[in-house]
A = this chain, B = another copy of it.
């Protein structure tokens, strides 16, 4: 939470640790050594210990790591101990799929609003939330303590909408449009570039 200079590579590995620890916990495992976790996850034990030690020592020599404790500590590091209010901008195919997906709520990501520029969609409800006009975004974000905006609109709209969201003091943007958003440093942007992912896959096929 406090100390900086954690590399992106380390942060990117945390969710995977979190997932494995959750599964261990669910199956009743109380403790695990970096060695055992290492063979389970197919990474080196050294990397596991280094990663955790970036955030302080969560283990005990001769014992290993307490699964439940470590799981909760990682949740805190990832900010999953707090809830986040989010809106989805773009209630098309992808926006609706995300809106209908329940599992994010379980991790504290609460859908509060849905926006589109197509009037035909206004009033359409997804999980009890009605789609409204994009013109309401600014007020809505300010009045409803929205942390995260999910952008599931085409790229031109995404760039312009990002500017609006910046004005509203949004904390983070989860961007599914295939464009790099230009926002101030204090705003978190996480891109999901599906076509990039598909091209990497294509590279993999082309190069055995």
Q: Which residues of A contact B (CB under 8 A)?
A: 1, 4, 6, 11-12, 14-16, 18-19, 77-80, 82, 84, 93-94, 96-97, 100-101, 103-104, 107, 109, 147-148, 171-172, 174, 178, 186, 188, 190, 192-208
Q: Are A107 and B195 in contact (CB under 8 A)?
A: yes
Q: Are A14 and B203 in contact (CB under 8 A)?
A: yes
CB distance from A10 to the nearest CB of B (A): 10
Q: Are A178 and B19 in contact (CB under 8 A)?
A: yes
Query: Which of A96, A147, A186, A206 neighbours the largest number of chain B CB atoms within 10 Å of its CB?
Result: A206
Q: Are B202 and A84 in contact (CB under 8 A)?
A: yes
Q: Are A188 and B205 in contact (CB under 8 A)?
A: yes
CA distance A205 to B193 in the complex (A): 20
- A93: contacting residue among B12, B101, B202, CB under 8 A: B101
Chain B residues with CB under 8 A of A147: 205
Q: Are A79 and B192 in contact (CB under 8 A)?
A: no
Q: Are B190 and A200 in contact (CB under 8 A)?
A: yes
